Amino acid sequence: MTGRNTQATRTPRIRTFRERLREDLKDPKFRRYFEQEKRALALAMKMAEVREKAALTQKELARRVGSSQQTVSRLESGEYERYSLKTLQKIADATGHTLKIDFKPRKNAKVAGRQE
C-alpha cells in the first residue's frame, strides 16, 4: 500500500446513557416503571438528607424512631416501597422536620372516571 488511501475504519458511535434513556422512555411501560423508581429513590435520598442535616447516624435515628439501624438503611436505600405515614412522621419528628405530603397535577393527565 502506498498510504494514499488510508481511510481508517470508523468505529461505531457509542450512545450515551442519556441518549439510551431518552429512547427507552418512549416505551410507556418502561416510563411508568422508571417514574416509580425515581420517586422511591427521591424519597430515600430525602430521608438520608434530613437525617444528615440533623447530624444523626442511622443508628441514632433508629433509636429515636424505635427501629433498627438496618431498617433505617433499608428505608434510605431506594429499594423499599412500603413506607407508612406513621414511619415517615416519626422520621420527621426525630429530625426536627414537618412532614408535608402534596398532590400535584400531572401534565396531560387523564382523570379516571371523569365525564367530559
56-70 residue pLDDT tens: 999 999 999 999 999
Write down all domains in the chain, each with its CATH number in brackets.
21-94 (1.10.260.40)
Does 105 score more than 60 pLDDT?
yes
Does 115 score more than 60 pLDDT?
no
Longest dimension (CA), the chain: 79
Does 6 score more than 70 pLDDT?
no
Compute the distance between CA of residue 51 and CA of residue 97 in angstroms, rounded to an integer.
Answer: 10
Does 2 score more than 70 pLDDT?
no
Compute the distance between CA of residue 93 and CA of residue 65 in angstroms, rounded to an integer.
Answer: 9
